[in-house]
Chain A
Amino acid sequence: MKLTRKQILTRGIIKENPVLILVLGLCPVLAVSTQAGNAIGMGLATTFVLLGSNIVISALRKIIPGRTRIPCYIVLIASFTVLAIMAIEAYAYTLYQALGIFLPLIAVNCIIFARAEMFASKNTVFDSILDALGSGVGFTLALFVIASIREIFGSGSWFGYAIPWLSENSVMIFSLAPGGFIVLACVLAAVNKLTKTYELRTHPGCNKCPNAGACGKHEHAS
């Protein structure tokens, strides 16, 4: 099945969201999501690395030999990470300090490897750019949602601005480590619920189909 350009761009955002559906790259999602501002910064930095590595890998896909492709990808991704780190250190020093160890760790983010291996190594440069943008925006969006929940309840503020009642009555656990796990779990459960409802509405299955008995393709829907 060949995907259209629009599908390539949009599927990373919703249908195959790297965090919420594919559950990849959880370390930065859990660690950097205490403040919405940091989350956006981390998302953009990751999108930049993803874009750069996808462009170069898809451009070189006929030159990189199949057997040694993994080390090649590692070096390319790490180089783009170094570029991103240096740019952030120069132009956004507070963000650089807030993200700390998680900036160099972009280089080992599974999402970037997954896109390189599954998409960029087989497709044209233009398609890979769309794919990188889709996955990058999807990652940023997921990070932003989780960080917003944690910042609003954990510190009673949003992007650093205090929220009237919540800032005096913040729930500290949201900004601590267990809160990260709990919020991510609840968001994933909500996504599960939504996809189930959506699937039931669009594909009701044989149980509700009036022609189920006459139809030869009867399946035992759960």
Chain B
Amino acid sequence: MEIDFRALLVILMSTALVNNYVLRQFLGVCPFLGVSKDIKSSACMGVSVTFVMLMAAAVTWPIQTFLLDPQGLGFMQTVVFILVIATLVQLVEVVLKRYMPALFASLGVYLPLMTTNCAVLAVTITNITGGHTYIESLVHALGAGLGFLLAMIIFTGIREQNENADPPESFKGIPITLISAAILSMAFFAFDGVIDNLFR
């Protein structure tokens, strides 16, 4: 089987930058707003989301193609995928607890919450609805995860600046954070032409 690296690069770039999961498609907004308070935990969160996305894509694609589709059980996709992701998150939790207890403690409640992180489920479902091959699915998951990590880290920097700012009374807290997210989202519009100009 011949692998088209160019096409893979296009998928990677377009999911990480142009169609960024958090800032353009609003997937995974909860951890994006919740964990982005200091750079260390946001980087940890980004890396573990990327890892879970990759694992989930690697496991769910064969399940859908070789198990659900031949049996005519495509409609069970949502239930099966969620269970797979829940199991994977549990696995990551056990491994982190055993080998990296400090990281485990800093991620806290957000690790189990990853089960209900819509970005992870969305990656696996988009892989199927988008008709990706196995390799393309993995690259798509990697791109989505890296995009999430990038958005998280940039946004943490912005929020640290926000701490010193003095917004109007009723905008304090979540509203001003959302406004910053809007500005960052606008900045990501600049990537719109990247794919067209680089690859076509």
B9 on the A face (CB < 8 A): no
Query: B83 to A71, Cβ gap below 8 A?
Result: yes
A85: chain B residues within 8 A (beta carbon) = 75, 78
Chain B contact residue count (CB 8 A cutoff): 45
A184: chain B residues within 8 A (beta carbon) = 178
Query: A107 to B82, Cβ gap below 8 A?
Result: yes
Residue of A nearest to B78 (CB): A104
CA A177 to CA B179, docked complex, whole Å: 12
Q: At the interface, is chain A mostly helix, strand, loop or mixed?
A: helix
* Closest beta carbon of chain A to B28's beta carbon, Å: 7
Query: B170 to A27, Cβ gap below 8 A?
Result: no
Give the one of B83, B171, B182 with max A CB within 10 A: B182
Query: B26 to A27, Cβ gap below 8 A?
Result: yes
Which one of B30, B76, B125, B171 lies within 8 Å of A189 (CB-CB)? B171
Query: A31 to B122, Cβ gap below 8 A?
Result: no
B164: chain A residues within 8 A (beta carbon) = none
Query: A82 to B82, Cβ gap below 8 A?
Result: no
Q: At the interface, is chain B mostly helix, strand, loop or mixed?
A: helix
Given contacts A101-B126, A185-B178, whether A74 and B185 have CB atoms under 8 Å apart is no
* Closest beta carbon of chain A to B137's beta carbon, Å: 15
B68 on the A face (CB < 8 A): no
In chain B, positions 1-46 with a C-beta closer than 8 Å to chain A are: 23-30, 33
Which one of B26, B75, B76 lies within 8 Å of A31 (CB-CB)? B26
Query: A108 to B86, Cβ gap below 8 A?
Result: no
* Sample of 19 A–B contacts (CB below 8 Å): A26-B26, A27-B118, A30-B26, A31-B25, A74-B83, A74-B86, A75-B79, A101-B126, A105-B122, A107-B78, A177-B26, A178-B185, A184-B178, A185-B178, A185-B182, A192-B172, A192-B175, A193-B169, A193-B170
Residues in chain A within 8 A of chain B (CB atoms):
23, 26-27, 30-31, 70-71, 74-75, 78-79, 81-82, 85-86, 101, 104-105, 107-110, 113, 176-182, 184-186, 188-190, 192-193, 196
